[in-house]
Structure 1
Amino acid sequence: MGRIPHRQQSDDRPELHAPAPASRWAMLAVLCASLLLVAMDATILNVALPSLIDHMEPSPMEQLWIVDLYGLVLGGLLITCGAIGDRFGRKRLFIAGFVLFGLASVVAATAHTPAQLIAGRALLGVGGAMVMPSTLSLIRNIFTDDRERTTAIGIWAAVAGAGAAIGPLVGGQLVEAFGWSAAFWLNVPVVVVTVIAGLWLLPEYRAPQHGRLDWFSAVLSVLGVVALAWGIKHVAKGNPAVLDWVILVASAVLLGLFAYRQSRSADPLLDVRLFRNRAFTAAALATLLAMLAIGAALFLISLWLQYIHGYSPSEAGVRTLPAAIATLLGALATPWLMERVGVRVLMGFGLGALTVGFVVLAAVPDTTYPLVAMILACLGLGDGLAITTAAAVLVSAVPAERAGQAGAVEETNYELGIGLGVALLGSIHGRLFTGHMTGLPLQGADLEDARGSVGGAAYVAHHIGGPTGDEVLRIAQHAYDSALTTTSWISAGLVGTVAVLTVVLVPRGFKATAAH
């Protein structure tokens, strides 16, 4: 392939005239409505899972795939979908992706087997991957004024952060009122309204490319992410087979080959040279590891509230509200705080708040809900501050013509972090839980089910009833708490490490402004 001319900023130009001032904020509302739905779907099943388990009886491994396959597929496809949108039109990709998102919601809502539900979640991830890159890139084109663009990106980041946090709240209300499938039926009317509004309001933009899309690299990236998730899941759950190790090694080879091809391409799907920028690398790591930790925490705490403390889905969802409120407030306050305390201090403080939340969750032996509420608020505040600051850094730390790729990195790390968090820390928690389930007054299939997951233990306990059932529940509660303590220490170590790296890598006095 011959050398491709360097893209200038003017390449990123609209097919239509710039939108009128009065319509820009309406366009932002359409984009944020879609983003909220896509972000919520990453966590909305957290409180619906117990109801789903009772109805469908998936295995422990199927439970993990149902929860986190969405984020893994979405994260694996974001970079490719961003490149497709650049070439074929961002509005076109946005509309097509949201239509697919709606159809996939119907597939998931009508599922009668774990396999169909997993397939529906995978299709939701594909649709979400088509939507998310288009939202940020369209915002960059719609808002040409620097101050307005900064505000719009701040709102975008707040919606993305709050969406994952309010997923359990919305899911809990819907599940209790209408059953687990309502978590998916919710998407359909929102998709219909948003698609109609998007066709009417949104302009089309594309960035002309001189080279063809590198489909081989796209396949490498997707296969690499899926293989990585598979390997992490099966190795973390204990007693991995040789095939599991082979797949994990293959993921490293595939992703390494993808990075090599991108480094030699004149028109890459992802310019890996962006990671030479220390601030960019710090922000990418902060997003990935922070969401890895908090994604697993929201999942495990939601199950803890229902199985250990006996809350209904709606009650459990309401009790995750401190995280949602704190995330939203932290994200909205970030632009103002960045101007006054600086990027380095603010990102470090946000990651530090996350670390403190995990340390308290791990260190306190008898955790009551009031303390959990404070922990959730601490996690939400840290998430809102750190993730929003990281998004601003990723966009501003690179040349303007690469700002779209920077946005794809932010979105990929955000969604991949949630998916890998449940895959890695969820698998570790499950393995520890099984190890602590000793002394059970059970045998045969009941013993296997109770040791498999906290949901299985609750089902067996309620089925048997009496003193034996109470004893099974007591042992399961102790095992779950012990496993949660260990995974919280691991989360604290991960986030604490990236907090230190952030302070080291981000230059003193670094300023984050919207790319233009």
Structure 2
Amino acid sequence: MSSPAARPDAGSTAPPAESRPDPGRSGSGLDPRRWVVLAILSGSLLLIAMDTTVLNVAFPSLVSDLKPGSVEQLWIIDVYALALSGLLVTAGALGDRLGRKRMLLTGFVLFALASLLAVLSTEAWHVIAARALLGVGGAAIMPSTLSILRHVFTDARERAFAFAVWAAVFGGGMALGPVVGGLLVEDFGWHSAFLLNIPVAALVIALGARFLPESYAPRSGRWDWWGVGQSIVGMLALAGGIKQLGKSGFADPLPWALLALATLALTVFVRRQLRLQNPLLQVRLFANQAFSVAATAIFLGMVGMGAVLFLVTQWLQYGQNYTPFEAGIRLLPASLGLVLTSMVTPALMQRFPIRHILGIGLLVMTAGLAMPWTVQRFADIGYPAVAVALAVLGMGVGVATTVASVTLMAATPADEVGGAAAVEETCYELGAALGVAILGSLATALYRAGLPALDLDGGTAASVRDSVGEAAHVAHALGGDAGRTLLDTVAAAYTTAITPAFLAGAVLTLGAAAVTWAWIPRDLRPTENTH
């Protein structure tokens, strides 16, 4: 139990401390609303998770309708993740001061307004503005979900189950996004991908206002505006640099300049936070080995999952000629594997040390990523080989992220959960982005190297070598036997290219498993209530 907060200084925004008795709790200390709260927060997270991937199927229709330029297309795709990543730390700290329930409901108001703006959009810049506002709303929502769960579930076993549900919903929502989006877009157009958000957000606001408890963390002192600016600049530059690296490759100086700016801004931010008595983010949390290893496991888990979902989606659409919706359906084994193992992991955590379970989860991920390498010509076997690899990967991610989430929160003092939640969400977002950037760039380089000489003019051949997506467009434009021959050539080159990329991801997760085994205390178990 955290100690009562001191009286706030002048100019402080600190509300009553989290340790104040909650009238909603029973005499046993267990909140009778906790399962309703879990259901509401799960619905909240499902919407956010689906929104991260639903644009994948709506984008071609949106481009056909609004005809955005190439720069506008990049902003439509990237601005959501940039806004979300840039504001997570600030939003987590604001939730601690102003109230997590208040931040979550405010985030959903912004989410609903942004979705309405997207539905009414008639110009590309309207969609860009809407996606940016969606990112702001998402940044307010996501840390609040974890912080509220940490506050409501005071029993360690129940808390582990709640975090398992959280991980399952997030992973399942990412995989469901293309499926639900495909169904909506095929019948109602690209606007419907955003329209779904409005009634769901309204329902969450109504139920949340009625059932969610408010909670704070004790804070005194003035709001750290300098720290806010440094964190936003640093995280925006970091996310932007990673995404640009995936688009333009390692030879382009722009992503390296952005990453250098991120390093500078985040270094200044960390040094400032270490000096402050009441920092925006308690960076000393990373001195706890369990916290650091858990964050690393989440990050590397998302590197593998993000890269595989991206590369396999490309392979299914351009190598196997499936529609986006059909490709989304075929990605479901990863989601099903993740949900299944997330649900059984809490029971395992009560019987075995965290070190063992997290290490095994990372090793299962390694196996899933290595499978395409061991079956080099999985295209000859067909989709079943890919489905097995996806299911194994999903099972590993489900175990690893569930254990890591519980470990990370168990290692966090009750008055720092907002910052810890922001760290966890940042690991999810940046891990997936880095997976696409690094492993996607490797696959692209191998694809270009594997293409034979093409009987095409210089500009067309350059387009084919630029990306598998551009090659598919060229093949469809050529049509006839020439188009089919080019498509077969491109599919073979891309199939050969992505297997080494998967193997590189397997090496990363194998390294994470070794670090887990070396750093996490041998007897660490999530059995003590640390709320």
TM exceeds 0.5? Answer: yes
Cα drift, residue 62 of structure 1: 6.6
In the superposition, relative to structure 1, how do residues 226 and 425 fare at CA in structure 2: closer, same or farther (>3 Å)?
A: farther
Q: TM-score, normalised by structure 2?
A: 0.88
Cα pair 1:50 1:455 within 8 Å, conserved: no
The percentage of aligned residue pairs carrying the same residue is 46
After superposition, give the CA deviation of every residue in 1:394-441 in whole Å (9 maximum; x if it has no partner): 011233433443233222211221233223333443444445445233
Cα drift, residue 202 of structure 1: 2.1
Q: For 2:109 and 2:416, locate their aligned partners in 1 and report how far apart those are by CA, in whole Å.
A: 28
After superposition, give the CA deviation of every residue in 1:304-332 in whole Å (9 maximum; x if it has no partner): 21221122233222211111111111111
Cα drift, residue 145 of structure 1: 4.3
Cα drift, residue 23 of structure 1: 3.3
Residue 481 of structure 2 is matched in structure 1 by: 467
Equivalent residue in structure 2 for 1:289, among 296, 300, 303: 300
Q: For 2:69 and 2:367, locate their aligned partners in 1 and report how far apart those are by CA, in whole Å.
A: 34
Residue 168 of structure 1 is matched in structure 2 by: 178
Equivalent residue in structure 2 for 1:375, among 389, 400, 406: 389
Q: For 2:235 and 2:137, locate their aligned partners in 1 and report how far apart those are by CA, in whole Å.
A: 17
Q: TM-score, normalised by structure 1?
A: 0.90
**What SS does structure 2 have at the residue aligned with 1:340?**
coil
After superposition, give the CA deviation of every residue in 1:350-409 in whole Å (9 maximum; x if it has no partner): 111111111112342222210111011011101110000000110112334334432332
Residue 506 of structure 1 is matched in structure 2 by: 520
Farther off after superposition, 49-58 or 368-377: 49-58
Cα pair 2:297 2:401 within 8 Å, conserved: yes
Q: For 1:123 and 1:280, locate their aligned partners in 2 and report how far apart those are by CA, in whole Å.
A: 31
Q: For 2:73 and 2:467, locate their aligned partners in 1 and report how far apart those are by CA, in whole Å.
A: 10
In the superposition, relative to structure 1, how do residues 284 and 352 fare at CA in structure 2: closer, same or farther (>3 Å)?
A: same
Residue 413 of structure 1 is matched in structure 2 by: 427
Cα pair 2:316 2:322 within 8 Å, conserved: yes
Matched, 1:230 2:236: no
Q: For 2:61 and 2:510, locate their aligned partners in 1 and report how far apart those are by CA, in whole Å.
A: 35
Equivalent residue in structure 1 for 2:339, among 302, 320, 328: 328
Equivalent residue in structure 2 for 1:188, among 191, 198, 204: 198
Residue 277 of structure 2 is matched in structure 1 by: 266
Cα pair 1:171 1:317 within 8 Å, conserved: no
- Structure 2 segments unaligned to the other structure (5+ residues): 9-13
In the superposition, relative to structure 1, how do residues 58 and 464 fare at CA in structure 2: closer, same or farther (>3 Å)?
A: farther
In the superposition, relative to structure 1, how do residues 55 and 475 fare at CA in structure 2: closer, same or farther (>3 Å)?
A: farther
Farther off after superposition, 115-124 or 182-191: 115-124
Residue 318 of structure 1 is matched in structure 2 by: 329
Cα pair 2:24 2:33 within 8 Å, conserved: no
Residue 153 of structure 1 is matched in structure 2 by: 163
Matched, 1:93 2:103: yes
Matched, 1:515 2:509: no
Cα pair 1:104 1:123 within 8 Å, conserved: yes
Cα drift, residue 264 of structure 1: 1.4
Residue 489 of structure 1 is matched in structure 2 by: 503
Equivalent residue in structure 1 for 2:288, among 277, 286, 296: 277
**What SS does structure 1 have at the residue aligned with 2:249?**
coil
Equivalent residue in structure 1 for 2:17, among 1, 11, 14: 11
Supply the AA of the counterpart residue of 1:470. Answer: R
Q: For 1:165 and 1:359, locate their aligned partners in 2 and report how far apart those are by CA, in whole Å.
A: 21
**What SS does structure 1 have at the residue aligned with 2:338?**
helix
Alignment of 1:46-57 (within 5 A): 46-49=56-59, 51=61
Cα drift, residue 169 of structure 1: 2.8
Cα drift, residue 197 of structure 1: 1.6
Task: Give aligned pairs, total.
Answer: 513
Equivalent residue in structure 2 for 1:443, among 432, 457, 462: 457
Residue 472 of structure 2 is matched in structure 1 by: 458
